[in-house]
Structures are given as structure tokens and as C-alpha cells.
Chains A and B, each alone.
Chain A
Amino acid sequence: MWFKKKTYPEFWTRYLNHFKSTTNKDFDNQRFLVFDTETTGLDIKTDRILSIGVIAVQGQIIKVSDSFECYVKQNIFNSETIKIHGLLKGGNITKAEESEAIKAFLEYIGNAVLVAHHAAFDIAMINAALKRMNLPKLKNKVVDTGELYKKTKYVKDHKHYSLDALSNIFNIPQHDRHTASGDAYITALLFQKLSSLLQKKKKGLKLRYFFDWI
């Protein structure tokens, strides 16, 4: 049965359709979606997503109206990480089933470029959820603000810089740290500052410049 074409749900087809057109956008027209996930822990196999926060940046401007926030019902539960994100298993926030949340997330992001701090982890968490739904991985291009920071040549080393550390370096006030939306917003401010720095260095921004590390 190796030749049998898999059938995917309608929303996945819609999601894929966004990637069919190959119009090249310049930096200012590109919709960047800065996002963050709060999870039960750091193990991609066993831990689960508790919430996703997304906010759009386009033409260097953060658009509060173009944002997405959702909380996910999970049975997996880690009392250690509750201390960090404050999300209880029950809680009184309206939560969606994981599959519903991922569906809504895909409908929202379309073919936008995703931006996250240490993006590999957040992307892997979402891909793991997609796998549980028998779906392939995300198709979106991804920018990692941690890698972007290295490109600015502020530092010579190859260390990982945490969001906290970079917030301090770039003088970004840390409100709502460890909520998905709060961290997404902080990451968006960081992204603004980093792309502005790179723009100065490169005299104009080429989209390509953001992805060539992938």
C-alpha cells in the first residue's frame, strides 16, 4: 500500500495551498509571525503544548490586531513546569483540544514566515502535535531570533542566548514572561530591534538573508 496517496483533512489542504504561489516578497511586504509555545517540559516526545501565542510583524511594525492566542487541553501534566508558566491542568481559562488548537493555528498562520526564539524547539513541538494528528511537518519558513542575534555580530561566540539575556541586552522590559503571548511579544520587540540592526549593517534587508542558515 506504499503507493496509496494519503488523504488529508480539508484544513491541511487549505494550508498547503498557501504555499503554491511562489511570489517573491520583499522584506517590508512579508508577514512575519512571531510565536512562542508554553509546554509541559522540554522533551519533544513526551511533553505537550499548553499554549500558543502569536503576533504579526510586517514592515518592521508589530500589529497587535493580527495576533493569536490559544490554550490547549492536555492530560500530560508536569508539576515542575507549572511553576514557570502558571497553567494548571484544570484552570479557568477556556482551552481547546490539541487537534483543534493546531487546526486553528494552521488556519491563522498560512504561509507567513514564523519567528521564534530558539525556534527549533517550538517548531518541533508543533510538528510532534501534527504527527499525533497523522499530518506532515510545518511548511513555513522559520527565523530564529537567537541565530539572528549571532548574525548581528554583537558576539563572536556560539553560545545560546536566552530570551531573558537578550531582553536585558536590548533593554526590553520583561512583562508577562512565560505566557506564550507575553514571550511572543517580547520576541517580536527583539525581532524588530535585530532586523533594524541588520538593516543598518546591510543597508537594506533581503529576505534571503534571514533564511540562509536554515
Chain B
Amino acid sequence: MNTIAERIFDFLKDFPPFSMLSREQLLAICKSVEVHYLEKDTNLFVAKNPVKNQFYVVKDGAIGLFREDSNTLVDKCDEGDIFGLRALMRQDDYKLTAKAIEETIVYSISSELFKEYITTNPEASTYLMSSFATNTTYIESNPLQNQNSTDNIPDFFEEQSASYSKNPVSCLLNTSIKEAALEMTDKRVGSIIITENNKPLGIITDKDLRTKIATGLISIQETVEKIMSSPVITYPENITVAEAQIAMIKNKITHLCITKDGTPNSDLKGVLSEHDIVVIRENNASVLVKEVKRATTPNQLQHIRKRAHEVLKRYIKQHIPITFATKIISAMNESITQRIIDLAIKGMATPPPTSFSWIAIGSQGREEQLLLTDQDNALVFNDVPEEAYESTQNYFLKLSEKITTSLNIVGFEFCPAEMMASNPKWCLSLSQWETQFKEWITKPDQDNLMLCTIFFDFQHIYGDETLVNSMAKGIFESIDSYEIFLNFLGLNALKNPPPLSFFRQFLVESDGEHKDQFDIKGRAMMPLVDAARLLVLSKNIKTNNTIIRYENLASAEPQNKDIYLACRDSFKKLLRFRTEQGILHNDSGRFIDLQKLSKANKLELKSCFKAIKDVQDLIQTRFQLAQFM
């Protein structure tokens, strides 16, 4: 009996990493918890003092973590939040001051107990390591980073775990061949596993029936033992596609048995056949891209896009790195658009009067579009003599009309704001575009800034790429001659400060259709996108993808590497998160119901806001925006 420890257990058991411990482990921790009471504005620990041998969990109230020199609030911890983890990682001084920002009760847990129970639990320690990495100001190297090295594997799908039939058809040793064949016919399968106590002993495939029975060599009254191949080749459940293929080639077989521990001495879990591999390959992105090239109607492309969405779902489910998923989906969208343009040109009475380039803008231009959203595009054509301008523009408007209509059929709905190449405003010659950009840059009012944030993220999709390169060059030249534009763009990038006050309730939309929901795109992703765009423009770097922008920034400014990499990682997290939410609710994933988020998800989101805060601080200093604000 330990009434008090039980009470503490009831509280902690709902929060990670405690939720990951066994009841006995957690109860043992609870038995030695210490309970601290802090009045508002009292310190629990102070920066630069030696770390205590314990870490903390907020029970009631809220603790603020403050940077000592500037007394700025770095983080707020409320019910269930863990802080003071530095004590566990190293013997050192506190970097931040922990102060109660309201009347607070805090539990402390000794480092020894932590080491005993939590570090031996892989799930709990991974959780803590990552929350430690995000709890600090990015000084520590992120231990989870290494997991992302697989980003670079070009044919990543080989690394997916292979899906196999989980209800294998099986029979016992004394079954007759005839009975087994009837069973296979009945279940419509090409193989049957012979088992004893649910352990696989042998296998009979269609081929065995053909070579050994149909040839008359063995009677169908004999038992399956006579013709089965034995022993079987077994693998564990998490076998990858690549491993499966190698195993089949090496053993010259077409079926693998999947068992619980991967040996023939454990329970049979399923059968993986060559056919299963073919099916996986069929829904593989590179196959889909090939099919795109053969498609002749928008409806066929629509079907392929739907299958690509299934591929995406699988990637998300299998935790394939988000950068890989975005690359694949962007490549898919790009090749679908290219195919549509090919078909549209063929449908025109005459070939294009001059060279042109089809441009993706906005999130498509940044190659960050995972879920189907509105189309955002534009067109640039080469300069023509003034008298030919109108007819040339009309030709491309007509072409664009065809293209956008097909894209709409595929599933990229018309942009409600008409940010499409079929709009005469966004179907211009190269010099018209340059004039347009120059105007936006020299008259950076609210509307023009908004247009800059959409059109400056342009990406060549089809046609003459040199036109797009000239456009990019024009932008940099205009900015060079009118540098104050960057300050305005900077102000614009700061208009969505991170919702740090969200610790009690996230800043949610207060009215409209999405009342009480959190706008992950507007409040978390766009601030990172806007900051990255501003910084690469000021550095003359022409890349579009936010993740790559931050990587380029990190190598261009090693002194701010930590901030940029934190932004990159936050953006990856948010992108994955939004995609997961979108798949879950079958929408754009933009608005999130906070009630439904787990504590771990909330903590993860919170760490992203820290990155936003840091990069916005950097922008404010660099572009001396304080005087503007």
C-alpha cells in the first residue's frame, strides 16, 4: 500500500516518457518523487548554478524557462511537461533559469532512478533524447539526426518493409496431395505451407504440382511430404523488399515463409511470394512516372495521381523520411503536369509561336506539396516584336486554358484567386515579367509583398528553362538596386510571430469555419517559408525548397548553422505532421483540432515554434526591423 505514490502514478502515467514505462517501473519512480511548491515568481533553479541531481515534471501551474542575460522567456512548461533534463545528460551548470510564472507544484525525480528505468527503455529514452534536443538551444547534436542519412538512398523503396499475405494457407504432414491441391484451388493461392505446431516444415507451390504430379511421377493419393520442398527459407516480419528479392534469387525460389522470429522454429506468420514483390513494384513511384509518360488522357493521369496518393500514405505510415516523400510526390506532380502540357500542345492547331516556360509557383514551386491542393502556376514566353505580342499572348492563354482544365481533372483544383497561367496577368513575356517584378520590388505595399511571396518561389516545369533563369536574375538585380525591399519583405516575414503563449491553449482561430482549430500552415509553416525566402534572396541563392534553402543557408552562414538546421528540422516535422493530418482527415491538413493531439505531438509542435522564434529574432536584428515595428 502506498496511497501517495499511487496518486502520483495516476498523474504521471498519462505523460510520455512515463507512459512508456511498465506499472512496476513507474510506481518505483513515484515512490521517491519529491513534491515542490512554488509561489508565483519564485525560482526553482537559476542559470549558471550547478545542476541538481534531478529533473522536473510540472504537476499544476506553469514554469517559465528564462535566458539569464536577457531575462527573455525561452519556454513555458505546463502540466505534464518535463524540464531540467540537462541534469541527466551531463554534470554542468544550468543554462536557463526556471521560475514559476504562476503558483506551481512540481515533481522532481532523481537522475539515478531515471537512469535505472528510463535509459533501459529504448522508447522512453529516444523520446527523452529528442525532447532534450528540442528543449535546448540546438547546441547539442541531435541523436536522431543519423536516422535521416537514409535520405540519400536513391532507390529508397527497396528499404520499405515488404507486405505479404498474412493468412497463409497451410496443412499438416499427413494431408494427401489431392486434399492440398483442392485447398489451394479453393483459397485461390499458388502455394501451401506444411506445418507442425504452426512451425513451417515445407512448402508446395503450383510448380511442384506441375513438375511432380501432372507429369505422373507421383500419385495424388500420396501425402504432401513426398513432394514438398523442405526446409523452407524463413525471414522475420520486417523483411525489406530488397532482402526478399535477394533471398529469392539466391535460393532460386519464389516463396519465402515469414515467421515470428525469422527462424523455422517459430510461428508461421505469412508467405511472401514473387508476385507480392511485383505488386509492390507496380505501385512504386518510378513505375508510376513511366505510366504517366504513356498516359493519353487526363482521366488516366487522375488515376495515376490517386495511386501516387496511396504510395504517399504508405511512405508516411512506414516513416520514410519526409524529404524523400516530397521529392517523389513533386516528381510525380511534375511529370503529370509535363504530360498534360505535351498533350495540350498536341491539341493546339499550331505549334507554339515562340519558346516558353511553364512555371509552378507557391508551394508547388517550392516542391513542398504532398497532398492535392489548388494549382498555382504561371507562364513566361520569349520576347516577341510588339506587333506580335497580342497574338502570342492569346496563343499561350489558350494553351494555358487547356492545361489548367486538365490539371483540374487530375485533381489540382482551379486556384480561387486565379493565380494561374490562364489569367492574362500571369501569362507574360520575359520583359513583361521583369517589369512586373521590378514594380513589386520598388512598391512593396501589402498586396505586392503578398504576390512576391507567391511568385518568387517559381520553379521551371516545362519548356525553355533559360527564360526562368533570366527571370531569377532579374529579381536579384532589382533587389540589389532597391535593397530596402528586403526590409519590407522582412517585416512581412515577421507578421506571424510564433505562438509561444500557446502553452495553455494554442493560439487558435477565434472565428469562422475553423474556430478553435490551429492553422498549422499559416501559423507554423508559412513563417518558416517566409523567413527562408527572405534570407536566400538576401544571399543571392536561388533555390525554392524550404528544406534545401535552410541547408544552403546553414553552409553559407556557419555561425547561424544551429538556427537554420533547427528550422529545417522543424519544417520537416511540420510537413510530415500536416501530411499525416491531411491523410487522416482526407483534407489539406491545414487546420488541426488541438483537443485530439497527443502530448507528444504538442511537445513536438512546441519545439518547432522555438525554431521560428529564433529565426525571426535573427531576421529582426539583421534587417534592423525594430525601427520599423
Contacts and interface: CB of A to CB of B under 8 A. Distances in A.
Given A64-B8, A189-B37, A192-B37, A182 B32 contact: no
Contact of A61 (B1, B7, B35): B35
Contacts of B37: 60, 62, 189, 192-193, 196
Contacts of B35: 61-64, 188-189, 192
B3 A185 contact: yes
Dominant SS at the B interface? mixed
Contacts of B1: 69, 71, 93, 181
B335 to A, nearest CB: 60
Interface residues of B, number: 19
B5 to A, nearest CB: 6
A200 B33 CA distance: 26
Interface string B3-22: 11101100000000000000
B3 A64 contact: no
Interface in A51-95: 53, 55, 60-65, 67, 69, 71, 93
A181 B4 contact: yes
Of the candidates B30, B34, B108, the one having the most CB atoms from chain A within 10 angstroms of its own CB is B34
Contacts of A67: 2, 4
Interface in A187-208: 188-189, 192-193, 196-197, 200
B39 interface: yes
B105 interface: yes
A176 interface: yes
A179 interface: yes
Contact of B34 (A61, A69, A184): A61
A62 B103 CA distance: 16
Interface residues of A, number: 27
B3 A181 contact: yes
A69 B36 contact: no
B281 interface: no
A179 B3 contact: yes
Interface string B87-99: 0000000000000
B31 interface: yes
A175 B7 contact: yes
A192 B30 CA distance: 19
A55 B39 CA distance: 21
Contacts of A182: 3-4, 7
Interface in A106-140: none
A182 B7 CA distance: 9
A200 B39 CA distance: 10
Contacts of A181: 1-4
A53 B5 CA distance: 13
A184 B2 CA distance: 12
A196 B34 CA distance: 17
A5 to B, nearest CB: 40
Contacts of B105: 189
B111 to A, nearest CB: 15
Contacts of A197: 39
A62 B7 contact: no
B39 A176 contact: no
Select the residue from A53, A65, A185 with max chain B CB neighbours within 10 A.
A65
A176 B34 contact: no
A193 B61 CA distance: 14
B2 A69 contact: yes
Nearest to A180: B3
A95 B35 CA distance: 28
A60 B5 CA distance: 19
27 contacts: A60-B37, A61-B34, A61-B35, A61-B108, A62-B36, A63-B34, A63-B35, A64-B4, A64-B5, A64-B8, A64-B34, A65-B33, A65-B34, A67-B4, A69-B2, A171-B103, A181-B4, A182-B4, A184-B4, A185-B3, A185-B7, A189-B37, A192-B37, A193-B37, A196-B37, A196-B39, A200-B39
Interface of A: 53, 55, 60-65, 67, 69, 71, 93, 171, 175-176, 179, 181-182, 184-185, 188-189, 192-193, 196-197, 200
Given A64-B4, A67-B4, A181-B3, 15 more contacts: A60-B37, A62-B34, A63-B34, A64-B5, A64-B8, A64-B32, A65-B33, A65-B34, A69-B2, A171-B103, A175-B7, A176-B3, A181-B2, A189-B35, A192-B37
